[in-house]
Structure 1
Amino acid sequence: MKVAILAGGRSSEHDVSLKSAAAVRDGLHRGHHETVWVQLERDGSWRTEDGDPVSLTPGGGLLGADVAFPVLHGPFGEDGTVQGLLELLDVPYVGSGVLASAACIDKIVFKDLMRAAGLPQVDYEGLHHARWREDRDTALASLERLGLPVFVKPARLGSSVGIVKVTAAEDLAGALDEAFTHDPRVVVEAMASGLEIECSVLGTPEEPEVSTPGEIELLGDADWYDYDAKYAAGGMNLVVPARITDEQTARVQELAAEAFTRANCHGLARADFFVDGDVVLVNELNTMPGFTATSVYGKLWAASGLSYPDLVEDLCRLALRRAEAAQRYSF
């Protein structure tokens, strides 16, 4: 296959994306596939590895590639925007489509969908910036039922960017002000106890496969799974398999598959949970998680018997099959 790897992007996760994309390229090369590097710069321009601007024509494909692998994290890449562009270019692409990508990156929309489906999850409240500006006291009162601590999060950022853990009521307004500098929509989540468990999902909405779960073990002075814990050396340790019972493992895998299907994801997602005894709570789905060979998504599949080169090849072939199946419909 000839695979166009989309790397970088306009979001705050630009540098993380570059590392993920480089690992994907290496994995595809190890599988003897050809790659074309397309770098999405912070200013929104697209360039080849030689620095030449990329010209896009609707229906005209992308640099002769058979399939695109958008290794993009966060807004302007993981949120349905690039997915919609690739649809217009008529290029098969790895990962979820426009609707699932947009729904899963928006923590409020995703949680509302899971609540409608009856899946157990962390209690939460969504706020819009306009409501916050108009009546701060009423907005703060609506959050009291969540108790303390709470986590204040921009609705559509990843990698824990902009997230604040609030342990005192007098700090909540400041945390909301900070979150609203990143996004006009903010979610406030109740504190969840137990272990942080993650598993990787691969496949189609009809037939999702779920990896062995892993456990996030925080190291050093980390109080919660923030940006430094995720990316700094010595911040966390991934324990595989997770130190949970067979019954808890089965429940995590069941919920991961159901959330993937309910959101109509395709190709891949990382599902995150809190597990405390018999209680298993869905936290979120990430439709384009960190993708280096040492990232959680790939490591969990490696522990489940699927090598990194085989994983990235399988994802490309899933994308091609989805594009072929779509041609059977007239829309």
Structure 2
Amino acid sequence: MPVVKYLYFSKFEKNTIHYERIKKQLGEILFIKPNSLGSAVGISKATNLVEFHHAIELAFQYDYAILIEEAVNARELECSVLGNENPIASAPGEVVKHTDFYTYEAKYLDAKAATIESPAKNITAELISKIQHLAIQAFKITRCVGMVRVDFFFTQNQQLYINELNTIPGFTNISLYPKNWIASGMRYSELLDQLIHLGLAHFKEKKKLNRVYSQKLEKEK
């Protein structure tokens, strides 16, 4: 899967994090984020040593592991995936930022910080197909079920990267997961029905699994 350059550190490796060395590997502008979180909580942009150290401390307040990523100048495209064993992908939408960095405050507290477009504008059929293919592949590889929003970076030199998978995407009035499906021709009520059906189907399959050690099963091998 295509992703931007990054480094991963657990809290036990904190004393091995060296700014100058990382800057040489990833570039002058860095993004530091908790490994497992959402809504841009705990994410910082660092352009100097002071910002870098502050960002490291902040990220470790939210998770036992962090990611340090290179910065890319890119459009932010998002694709909604729906399904269990046979997932389908929506037309992609776009978050058009009007700020330098799409922070938590920009997402939820400042209505002018970004424009949400679904479907995305000025995007080729070839790119749409590639986004949908990668979104479904990422969904399958990470063994997701039900719903996922796969977020992408599309750079000025036509490079496409997966930014993240959001397994509990938002359903607010600005959320692209439902907007993308509506733009793809699915009614909101139909989307909810599908999600309920998929959840019940997955629960039914999980109930078939044996969760207790059984000598009988071992003998039947």
- Confirm or deny a common fold (TM above 0.5): yes
Q: Structure 2 residue aligned with 1:145, among 10, 22, 25? A: 25
Shift of residue 152 of structure 1? 0.6
Q: Distance in 2 between matches of 1:177 and 1:323?
A: 39
Q: Distance in 1 between matches of 2:207 and 2:11?
A: 41
Query: Which residue does 2:12 correspond to in 1?
Result: 130
Q: Secondary structure at the match of 2:130?
A: helix
Query: Which residue does 1:215 correspond to in 2?
Result: 94
Query: Which residue does 2:136 correspond to in 1?
Result: 257
Q: Distance in 2 between matches of 1:283 and 1:247?
A: 20
Q: Structure 2 residue aligned with 1:239, among 108, 114, 117? A: 117
Checking the alignment, whether the CA contact within 8 Å between 1:248 and 1:278 is kept in structure 2 is no
Shift of residue 241 of structure 1? 2.0
TM-score, length of structure 2 as denominator length? 0.86
Q: Unaligned regions of 5+ residues in structure 2, if any?
A: 212-221
Instruction: Supply the AA of the counterpart residue of 2:131.
Output: V
Deviations 1:96-116 (A, max 9, x none): xxxxxxxxxxxxxxxxxxxxx
**Residue 226 of structure 1 pairs with residue 103 of structure 2:** yes
TM-score, length of structure 1 as denominator length? 0.59
Q: Unaligned regions of 5+ residues in structure 1, if any?
A: 1-118
Q: Distance in 2 between matches of 1:309 and 1:322?
A: 20
Q: Percent identity?
A: 38
Query: Which residue does 2:36 correspond to in 1?
Result: 156
Q: Structure 1 residue aligned with 2:160, among 254, 270, 280? A: 280
Q: Distance in 2 between matches of 1:189 and 1:200?
A: 24
Shift of residue 207 of structure 1? 1.0
Q: Structure 2 residue aligned with 1:267, among 137, 146, 155? A: 146
**Residue 176 of structure 1 pairs with residue 56 of structure 2:** yes
Checking the alignment, whether the CA contact within 8 Å between 1:125 and 1:143 is kept in structure 2 is no
Shift of residue 147 of structure 1? 0.7
Q: Distance in 1 between matches of 2:4 and 2:172?
A: 28
Root mean square deviation of aligned Cα? 1.9
Checking the alignment, whether the CA contact within 8 Å between 2:118 and 2:176 is kept in structure 1 is no
* Cα distance change, pair 315–293 in 1 and its aligned pair in 2 (3 A): farther
Deviations 1:122-163 (A, max 9, x none): 11101122322x3454x7524530112110111122110111
